[in-house]
Amino acid sequence: MIYDCADCDKLFYAGRVARDQHCQATGHAPPQFECDTCNFCFDDEYDRCDHMNLEMHWGKGAPECRFCFFRAVTDAEIREHQITLHNYCADCDRQFMNLNNIQQHLKSKIHRTTVVNCPFCRVRCGTATGLSHHLERGSCPRIPFNRDKLYRYIKHRDPANLISNKEIEWSGEKTYSINPRAAWNPWVKAFECYLCHKLYMSLNGLRQHLESPRHQQSLYHCFNESCRKEFKTLAALINHLESESCRIMRFQQVQNTISNIVDARKMISNP
């Protein structure tokens, strides 16, 4: 499998280890959200995990559901999965007859957990990142959002540009077409993105890449003055905050703040 360095576009036919050794030697940054098994890269951890569950691409040692083949990065994600799909409480080692029963159990004094729900359709989204994905992907039946519409919605309540970038030179989503014959690279026998030269083994893989936010304009940024990292989706920004990598907010603060970000009645302000 062919891997590439995102900083210098060098290809590594020997595989991931050769690419990683190159990054260590040159100081180039390896992909942050790369599949454990193949060379697919994603914009955030949510998409990476979704891909690895669909393709069974998890690496050895990843936490696994005791009832099915679902895997995740952390044990906490597995616990949430087992609650939602298997009515199972890992902390108590107890399985319930239905979802309503376990939800009542989790609301009892034994458990004091915070759950993020969509403010429009009330579906359980798990985390603030999950809610952001729910809205940006148009999954909410009450509010027909997508990446563009959610940005306009948030931008209207963020006049100080605390988390949203300015609308200068922004005209909405870009669309890209594919010429299969022109996209095919006979030298490496793969389809090549003409924008970033990333290689895909199938035309569908290239199409998914071009339909993703990868080559869209960055719409958001971290409000930490010492960070200011930019993001193409709200979910990527929220995931960054949840990771506590720039230490501007704690994970639980992000869960409590997401409701203010998507609440039409409130202006976005510094938490």
Cα first-last separation, the chain? 45
The stretch 147-152 carries a mean pLDDT of 88
The stretch 194-211 carries a mean pLDDT of 84
Q: Are residues 187 and 164 in the same domain?
A: no
Let me know if residue 48 belongs to a domain. Answer: no
Q: What is the pTM of this model?
A: 0.53
CA atoms within 13 A of residue 20's CA, in its CB half-sphere: 6
Let me know if residue 21 belongs to a domain. Answer: yes
Q: Are residues 92 and 199 in the same domain?
A: no
Let me know if residue 143 belongs to a domain. Answer: yes
Let me know if residue 38 belongs to a domain. Answer: no
Residue 113 has pLDDT above 60, yes or no: no
- Beta pairing, strands 220-221 & 199-200: unpaired
Residue 155 CA to residue 149 CA, distance in Å, equals 10
Q: Are residues 107 and 187 in the same domain?
A: no
Let me know if residue 39 belongs to a domain. Answer: no
Q: Are residues 136 and 16 in the same domain?
A: no
| Mean pLDDT score across all residues of the chain | 83
Q: Are residues 157 and 204 in the same domain?
A: no
Let me know if residue 35 belongs to a domain. Answer: no
Q: Are residues 193 and 73 in the same domain?
A: no
Secondary structure (3-state) at 53: helix
Q: Quick check: 231 and 242 in contact, CB under 8 A?
A: no
CB-count exposure of residue 260 (10 Å: 0-12, 13-18, 19+):
middle
Q: Which residue has the higher pLDDT, 60 or 132?
A: 132
Domain span holding position 80:
63-112
Let me know if residue 57 belongs to a domain. Answer: no
What's the number of domains the chain is made of? 4
Q: Are residues 9 and 130 in the same domain?
A: no
Residue type at 161? N
Q: Are residues 126 and 255 in the same domain?
A: yes
Residues 6+ positions from 254 with CB-CB distance below 8 Å: 128, 238, 241, 242
Q: Are residues 89 and 156 in the same domain?
A: no
Q: Are residues 125 and 196 in the same domain?
A: no
Let me know if residue 80 belongs to a domain. Answer: yes
pLDDT tens profile 153-193: 898 888 889 999 886 555 667 777 888 888 888 898 888 88
Q: For 56-142, list the strands marked E by DSSP.
A: 88-89, 94-95, 116-117, 124-126
The stretch 213-219 carries a mean pLDDT of 82
Q: Are residues 208 and 102 in the same domain?
A: no
